[in-house]
Structure 1
Amino acid sequence: MINHIGIIPDGSRRWAKKNKISSVKGYFISMEKLTEVIDFSFSNNVKSVSAYLSSLKNIQNRSEANINEFLSSQVYLSSQLLPALLEKYKFKVNVVGNLYHIKNEDFVRAITGLVESTKTNTDLIINILIAYDPVEEIYNSFKTNPHSIKDGFWVKEDLDLIIRTGVIGRLSDFLPLQSSFAELFFYRKYFPDLTIKDMENVFAKFLYRKRRFGG
């Protein structure tokens, strides 16, 4: 059974370049695809979805223009796509990362509003990883509860399954302490090209894998 799935939606800019459209449109299309993936996951009894939308290094190292293009798609996700999905599923949205690093007020307003409006929902969870750094997660956890560090993690549920698209076969600091026994699937296609059939195939393969958890 898949309780917690991780998505690393890589390839939006390269897909946009390949299809001769603007980067910002590529980001918007990727957020529509992410919403489809979340919808599929919840409809197949997944309880938590963690989406790795940016690392802290992404925010620190990319140009301000590119970051604002990317964050405009996050406003779209937070103010339109996910609120529409709330009509079908009652999920809670968590921000995983430090919004201190984000200077785009439109995005901060949109995501904090969504977090506030969904905070009483408990059955389903969407974790939005933005400006995420696992070192910050560990440091924050240690300050919060030095005697039980895991209890202070931003994401408390271990991952069962991680899907990454694009041409890079690594996790890139995606929830390393929650990924110890996660099953990994890498699709060598850009995220906007991921299909529901791909998701069905991954779920089917997961169910056939024998998970040993160190045994």
Structure 2
Amino acid sequence: MFKFLKHWFRFKASHTAANSPQIDLDKVPAHIGIIMDGNGRWAKQRGLPRVAGHHSGMKNVKKITMAANDLGVKVLTMYAFSTENWKRPKDEVDFLMKLPQEFFPKEIEELIQNNVRIRMTGWKEGLPDYTLKAIEGAIERTKNNTGLILNFALNYGSRKEIMMGVQEMIRDVQAGKLQTEELDEAIFSSYMLTSELPDPDLLIRTSGELRLSNFLLWQLAYSELWFTEAYWPEFTETLFLEAIAEYQRRARRYGGI
């Protein structure tokens, strides 16, 4: 009870703006996915290089993470870098790969104090050593935390995830570890990279784009989708609350009536 009250008063103190929507803390989505889009366009509008938008977007990660933590969200999955993003100009990719080196040393102590646990969904192969070192260090330092899981989808693509899951499942069938007749949605989900996490209840995408961009295609089957014109660097806590308030107004029927 004390933990809940502490959590509630901290939330109230952090989100008392008059225009903030009212949130039912008993109906907060357990898992929220965010496609953090629009960094480059945000920068272009201001006459800045695209990398300046990525840098501002990085700063916004902690702000929204703290808002999610205050609400009692269990998992926040942020789409940080897709398997398709390697096609971008080399200087932009190099800048993105260096952001974890800047983000974690600056923010890790506060994340630890707030009981946040870092996780990564994606493939380590292909990532620079310095990127991996920063991420793995943060994962190690927060591994015993029991609060919000801040899950970075990094070097991640859902089609690759599904194909590799199918390949692994076929190998298990051929090895006699799994019978074809046993296959169902739950078993298939166990071959996904997010098998230890619940499926997202809510997906947020910034920048006005209305597509999933190869993000958690299997896991988002029954998620509520919410889109905003705001670019990621200008996505505020109030907009985050608006997304959750809209989620709470919807009736999730999962194909039923």
Superposition TM-score, scaled by structure 2 size: 0.77
Query: 2:77 matched to which residue of 1?
Result: 50
Give CA deviations for 1:102-140 in whole Å, capped at 9, x if unaligned.
2x3221110111112222334421110111022332344
Picking from 106, 110, 114, the partner of 1:89 is 114
Shift of 1:179: 0.6
Tell me the secondary structure at the aligned position of residue 218 of structure 2.
helix
Instruction: Describe the shift of the 1:126–1:193 C-alpha distance in structure 2 as closer, same or farther (beyond 3 A).
Output: same
2: CA distance between counterparts of 1:184 and 1:54? 20
CA distance in 2, matches of 1:179, 1:128: 16
Bigger Rg, which one: 2
* 1:53 positional shift: 0.9
Alignment counterpart, residue 226 of structure 2, candidates 172, 185, 189: 185
Task: Pick one of 111, 118, 122 that aligns with 2:142.
Answer: 118
1:73: Cα distance to partner? 2.1
Which residue number in structure 2 is paired with residue 212 of structure 1? Answer: 253
Q: Larger deviation: 89-98 or 43-52?
A: 89-98
Instruction: Say if 1:15 and 1:190, in contact at 8 Å, map to a contact too.
Output: yes
| Contact 1:28-1:76 at 8 Å conserved across structures | no
Are 2:49 and 1:22 aligned? Answer: yes
In the alignment, which residue of structure 2 is the partner of 1:152? 191
Cα-to-partner distance string for 1:148-172 (whole Å, 9 max, x where unaligned): 2312321131110111011311011
Equivalence for 1:13: 40
How far the C-alpha of 1:88 sits from its partner, in A, is 3.5
The answer to whether the 8 Å contact 2:83/2:155 transfers is: yes
Secondary structure at the aligned position of 1:100 is classed as: coil
1:10 and 1:166 in contact (8 A); partners too: yes
Residue 206 of structure 2 contacts residue 228 of structure 2 at CA under 8 Å; is this kept in 1?
yes
Contact 2:112–2:145 (8 Å) recurs in 1: no
Residue matched to 1:101: 126
Deviations 1:53-111 (A, max 9, x none): 1110112x112211011222232223323x03324321222211112122x32211101
137-146 vs 155-164, greater mean Cα deviation = 137-146
Instruction: Tell me the amino acid that sits aligned with residue 214 of structure 2.
Output: D
Q: Contact 1:23 / 1:69 at 8 angstroms: preserved in 2? A: no
1:1-21 per-residue CA deviation (whole Å, 9 max, x = no partner) reads 210001111011111111122
Amino acid at match of 1:48: V
| 1:5–1:162 Cα contact (<8 Å) kept | yes
Q: Secondary structure at the match of 1:86?
A: helix
What TM-score, normalized to structure 1? 0.90
Q: Residue 54 of structure 1 aligns to a residue in which SS?
A: strand
The 1:110–1:4 alpha-carbon spacing in structure 2 relative to 1, beyond 3 Å, is same
> Which has the larger displacement, 65-74 or 32-41?
65-74
Summarize the alignment of residues 192-211 of structure 1 with structure 2, pairs less than 5 Å apart. 192-211=233-252
Alpha-carbon contact 1:24-1:73 (below 8 Å) kept? no
Q: Is the 8 A contact 1:50 1:127 kept in 2?
A: yes
Aligned length: 212
- The percent identity for this pair of structures is 28
Distance of 2:156 and 2:54 partners within structure 1: 18
| Two-structure CA RMSD over aligned residues (Å) | 1.8
Give yes or no for contact 1:39–1:85 (8 Å, CA) kept in 2.
no
